[in-house]
Structure 1
Amino acid sequence: MSTVTTAPRRQGRGGRERILAAAARLFAAQGINATGMEQVAEQAPVSKRTLYAHFRTKSDLVLAHLQELASTGRTLEGVLTREDMPARERVLALFVLPPDDTDPVRGCPYIDAAAEFPDPRSAVHAYARERKLLMVRLVAGLVAELGCREPAELAEQLVTLADGAAGRAMVLDDPDYGRHARAAAEVLLDNALQRAG
């Protein structure tokens, strides 16, 4: 388990950003449930009053953290909206974990969060589900653009591979594990395109 040193307390603006940055580091290093709000305040560094002024509950903080990740594109589905890559390469890029300087490999933050907030009615779990459904829609749009028939079904198969690869990458602490799922995804895409042709 990694250790995180305490930063000296800072005054002034930017408290929310410092809290989110500290939470991101701590959640990546030790997981969501193992990270306490006091620890986030120490790492930010902000007072507990400032922390709770920005985030009334830990659930609020986790949700804001996930929304921040989504806005930066540092998630599996982030590559799907890139305009500088052809559709096929965007789909296959799902099998490359986004660059991250955390150790160990964390896999998919939405799956991690849903596992740590298992009640499907919780705001965190619901947001993770929303992002996973968006991922399927984005992939379906890309494979339809490629000319594949039944894009929704193929998209489900591809995102299942991507999520499985991210999970195994985390368990095995192998950031390059997605290469195995990418090979399977290429076969699925090629077969779908042959049937469409």
Structure 2
Amino acid sequence: MVTAKETTQQRGRGARERILAAADRLFAQQGITATGMEQVAEEAPVSKRTLYVHFRTKSDLVIAHLQALASSGKTLEGVLTLAELSPRERILRLFDQPATDLASVRGCPFIDAAAEFPDPASPIHAYAREQKLLMVRLVTALVAELGCVEPAALAEQLVTLADGAASRAMVLNEPDYGRHARAAAQTLLEHALPRDGSACGEVPT
């Protein structure tokens, strides 16, 4: 038998999910700062009271939104932990735009959020920075697994290419723009990774 308390909890979880789904749609379509809390409540739909029960401030909502994106595996960084892919293929998948229902190219939501909240002390900017630092750590581990003895520098080059390609794809609304950066990444990998048993970065003799 379902108790009244359990029913309330179930309704609460449903409301939170609807709020986050509404925020995801609105933030993607019109940006974070252009979206008001009242608009999110209307889109969910929930009362403003219910919205503020789950998210006391807009900052709380934005961070929860970014956390949900990060855990979904549907961001640029999501491919880096796909165990079914080889380390090299995970890296090269960084240059493919994540699937989306939007008519336009979204780009990287963490870069977008940091741009809308440029103060490094902002909790939203800080969370976006954490995700970008996690991205480079994951790529560093992958290129180290491939045999590079100086993986940090190569990883920074690769993530710079990936973030730059995602930003240009969004600006140009060209979902396949990453192919240019992917070609550059392949060249970097070919020249940086071991060949004929040599160490990373060394020229075979």
Normalised to the residue count of structure 2, the TM-score between the two structures is: 0.88
Alignment partner, residue 188 of structure 2: 188
Identify which range, 27-36 or 180-189, moves more after superposition.
27-36
Q: 1:116: which partner in 2?
A: 116
Does residue 147 of structure 2 align to residue 130 of structure 1?
no
Amino acid at match of 1:133: L
Per-residue displacement from partner, 1:161-196 (whole Å, max 9, x unpaired)?
A: 000000000000011110000000000000001462
Q: What letter corresponds to residue 120 of structure 1 in structure 2?
A: P
Aligned to 2:71: 71
Cα drift, residue 104 of structure 1: 1.6
Partner of 1:26: 26
Instruction: State the distance in 1 between where 2:108 and 2:69 align.
Output: 11
Instruction: Supply the distance in 1 between the matched residues of 2:105 and 2:26 (Cα, whole angstroms).
Output: 13
Distance 2:52 2:77 in 1: 31
Which secondary structure does the structure 1 equivalent of 2:88 belong to? helix
CA distance in 2, matches of 1:149, 1:183: 22
The alignment partner of 2:115 has SS state of: helix
Rounded to whole Å, the distance in 2 between the matches of 1:105 and 1:30 is 13
Q: 1:6-29, CA deviations, whole angstroms, 9 ceiling, x for partnerless residues?
A: xxxxxx441100000000011111
* Gap regions ≥5 residues in structure 1: 1-11
What is the aligned-residue identity percentage?
75
2:160 maps to what in 1?
160
| CA distance, structure 1, for counterparts of residue 82 and residue 103 of structure 2 | 26
Asked if structure 2 preserves the Cα contact closer than 8 Å seen for 1:149 and 1:192, the reply is no
**2:144 maps to 1:144:** yes
Q: RMSD of the TM alignment (CA)?
A: 1.0
SS at 1:106 equivalent: coil
| Higher Cα radius of gyration | 2
CA distance in structure 1 between the aligned counterparts of 2:181 and 2:47, rounded to whole angstroms: 45
Runs of at least 5 residues in structure 2 that lack an aligned partner in the other structure: 1-10
Once the 2 structures are TM-superposed, how far is the Cα of residue 149 of structure 1 from its aligned partner?
A: 2.5
Check conservation: 1:136, 1:159, Cα contact below 8 A: yes
> What is the alpha-carbon distance in structure 1 between the residues aligned to residue 106 and residue 125 of structure 2?
17
Q: CA deviation at 1:90?
A: 0.1
**2:167 is matched by which residue type in structure 1?**
G
* TM norm structure 1: 0.92
Matches of 1:103 and 1:61, distance apart in 2: 24
